[in-house]
Amino acid sequence: MKPALLSLAALAVLAGCTATSNAGPEPIPGSITYGGQPKSRLTKAPIGSTFTNQLTDEYGHRAEEVYRIEPDRSLKLLRRSRIDDED
């Protein structure tokens, strides 16, 4: 009986966990999805296609973001990377 209760308790704890590894970075000012999804939809771009956006990040450095077009035509921010300044 005790192992069954422990298993149920473990399942309850795991059920409360959410996967955040697939969440991607949070939008920052300058991101296309900052403040929510854009009002216009990319209707001609194929679902699953990706594109980039360049911006200045929260630390004042140039950065590039990669977005993917989801099946519902929303945008998902996949990653953000800093662009090295060439002097």
User: Do the domain assignments include residue 35?
Assistant: no
Phi, psi of 3 (to 5 degrees): -60, -35
HSE (side-chain half, CA atoms, 13 Å) at 42: 18
User: Do the domain assignments include residue 16?
Assistant: no
The owner of tokens 């950065």 is: 63
Q: H or E stretch including 14? A: helix 2-15
**What pLDDT digit, counting tens, does each position of 6-43 carry?**
565 566 555 555 554 567 899 999 999 999 999 888 88
User: Do the domain assignments include residue 70?
Assistant: yes
Of the candidates 34, 18, 19, 20, the residue with the CA atom closest to the CA atom of residue 80: 34
What is the extent of the structural domain holding 73? 47-87
pLDDT value at residue 66: 98
User: Do the domain assignments include residue 30?
Assistant: no
**What pLDDT digit, counting tens, does each position of 35-85 carry?**
999 988 888 899 999 999 999 999 999 999 999 999 999 999 999 999 987
Q: State how many domains the chain has.
A: 1
